[in-house]
Structure 1
Amino acid sequence: MTATPGLGAPRLATPDLLRSTFRRHAAGVAVITAHGDRGPVGFTATSLTSVSAEPPLISFGIGTGASSWPAIADTDHIGVHILGEHQGELAATFARSGADRFGAPTAWRTGPHGVPVLDDVLAWLVCRIVGRVPAGDHRIVLAEVVLGDLSGSGRPLLYHQGRFNRLRD
């Protein structure tokens, strides 16, 4: 490989190259929840994507080694929560391995289809899982939106350069 004038030298694909590249990609922050055999589970996701308007479909990625994966693999319905800029600590809690994600101070309730619904988010959806597509050490989960609530207010929380951030004016 040769360097292109004005650009750095290209690097061969590695997990580190992928991680480093996507640290530069600002993404919205969501928390995905489900009810598992041992109670509620959830994780922070920056891979949430709108897939289709008709029918209304979303997708997200989850590692098969993640503690939430067994519940996501077995459940029919999940909750999708769009976090506001005031919820950096909540995002960090759901991203931290071994954390008591549903203990205090997390405020939540059991919602439709038994899905854990987080309080004070910008918006939440309950979705029915319609597919789990193998993708390396992850699964891409496709889910159809069943219902939702977008009555929250505020600005979104973003993830960039390995940190939770706010929009700047």
Structure 2
Amino acid sequence: MPASEVKESATPSLPAEDFKAIVRGHPGGVSLITADAGDGPVALTVTSVASISVDPPLLVFSISALSSAAKVLTGANALVVHSLDAHDIEVAKLGAINGIDRFAQAQTWARLATGEPVFDRVRAWVSCEVIERVQAGNSIVFVARALESHIARDMTLGEARDALVYHN
């Protein structure tokens, strides 16, 4: 069975509202994904970024297939994952609000030499090559290989800092 197919089952699924209530109560780190497939940049705030391998360095995240950024992200071969902290709350909001021009303030972002948009002054970012996309329900799961990074504010091992998490 291809990874993009969900096996039909005689057992009914958990109702969507129950599932959302469970997931809402599980904190997730906040990240901003940016890309440009040639028709202009997009930015989207997500809480689904996770590392899945150190060697090679791989990240995974998912987005709603209904997102306004989905078309660009599915067409992009490269993207940037911005790892946000509490100092980046405005950047997180920027990627979460519908119907605004996320790139209107030219001083807050630039392009990497490879063309991907990157926001300035965030905790950290990593540019990635998209190596796989999988349709899963009404979401698209991305697997991306880390290529280049920048850390503006590092976390001290074992010390609680200014993490930015989504919870409820």
Structure 1 CA distance for aligned equivalents of residues 142 and 107 of structure 2 = 25
> 2:10 is matched with which residue?
none
| TM-score relative to the length of structure 1 | 0.83
Q: Which runs of 5+ in 1 are unaligned?
A: 1-11, 162-169
Structure 1 CA distance for aligned equivalents of residues 107 and 33 of structure 2 = 14
> 1:142 is matched with which residue?
143
| TM-score relative to the length of structure 2 | 0.83
Shift in alpha-carbon separation, 1:94–1:32, aligned structure 2, 3 A: same
1:158 matched to 2:159:
no
> 1:124 is matched with which residue?
125
Shift in alpha-carbon separation, 1:93–1:67, aligned structure 2, 3 A: same
Structure 2 CA distance for aligned equivalents of residues 15 and 105 of structure 1 = 40
Structure 2 CA distance for aligned equivalents of residues 81 and 67 of structure 1 = 19
> 2:110 is matched with which residue?
109
DSSP-derived class of the 1:18 partner: helix
Indicate the structure with greater strand content.
1
Alpha-carbon offset, residue 106 of structure 1 = 7.0
Q: Deviations over 1:23-61 (max 9, x none)?
A: 111111000000133311010010001010111000100
Q: Deviations over 1:4-34 (max 9, x none)?
A: xxxxxxxx61221121111111111000000
Q: Which amino acid aligns with 2:48?
A: S
Q: Which amino acid aligns with 1:72?
A: L
CA contact (8 A) 1:112 1:126 kept: no
> 2:69 is matched with which residue?
68
Q: Which amino acid aligns with 1:28?
A: G
Alpha-carbon offset, residue 152 of structure 1 = 2.6
Structure 2 CA distance for aligned equivalents of residues 117 and 104 of structure 1 = 13
Structure 2 CA distance for aligned equivalents of residues 119 and 95 of structure 1 = 17
Structure 2 CA distance for aligned equivalents of residues 104 and 135 of structure 1 = 34
Structure 2 CA distance for aligned equivalents of residues 109 and 20 of structure 1 = 38
Structure 2 CA distance for aligned equivalents of residues 31 and 40 of structure 1 = 13
CA contact (8 A) 2:79 2:116 kept: yes
Alpha-carbon offset, residue 155 of structure 1 = 2.3
Q: Which runs of 5+ in 2 are unaligned?
A: 1-12, 155-160
Structure 1 CA distance for aligned equivalents of residues 144 and 72 of structure 2 = 15
DSSP-derived class of the 2:114 partner: helix
Alpha-carbon offset, residue 137 of structure 1 = 0.6
CA contact (8 A) 1:122 1:156 kept: no
CA contact (8 A) 1:82 1:156 kept: no
